[in-house]
């Protein structure tokens, strides 16, 4: 079975988001963590600072970018 590079990036983003949610002091509802392309429009033209630079590099893979932004946001809230 071959796994495409894009699929690997999405899987890694899902793992990062799940890890961030589990480490959160007040874990969010998991239903709220699902990828929703309607919420993606706010990220399409967003400028990312240094903390989010990895997510900015994933613009070609919208699902992975959205998941990483959420994971990084959860990490920032907990630190």
pTM for the full predicted model? 0.76
User: Over pLDDT 70: what percentage of the chain?
Assistant: 80
Please give, one letter per residue, the 3-state secondary structure of the chain.
CCCCHHHHHHHHHHHHHHHHHHHCCCCCCHHHHCCCCCCCHHHHCCCCCHHHHHHHCCCCCHHHHHHHHHHHHHHHHHC
Confidence at residue 7, expressed as pLDDT on a 0 to 100 scale? 93
Q: What is the pLDDT of residues 58-75, one digit of tens each?
A: 888 888 888 888 888 888
Query: Could you report the per-residue pLDDT of 10-56, keeping only the tens digit for each?
Result: 999 999 999 988 888 777 777 777 777 777 776 666 676 776 677 77
Where along the chain do its domains lie? 5-78
Q: What's residue 43's pLDDT?
A: 67
């Amino acid at each position: 079975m071959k796994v495409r590079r894009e699929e690997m990036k999405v899987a890694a983003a899902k793992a990062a988001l799940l890890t961030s949610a589990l480490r959160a002091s007040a874990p969010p509802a998991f239903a709220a963590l699902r990828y929703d392309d309607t919420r993606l429009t706010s990220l399409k033209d967003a400028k990312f600072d240094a903390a989010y630079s990895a997510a900015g590099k994933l613009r070609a893979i919208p699902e992975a970018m959205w998941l990483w932004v959420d994971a990084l946001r959860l990490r920032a809230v907990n630190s």
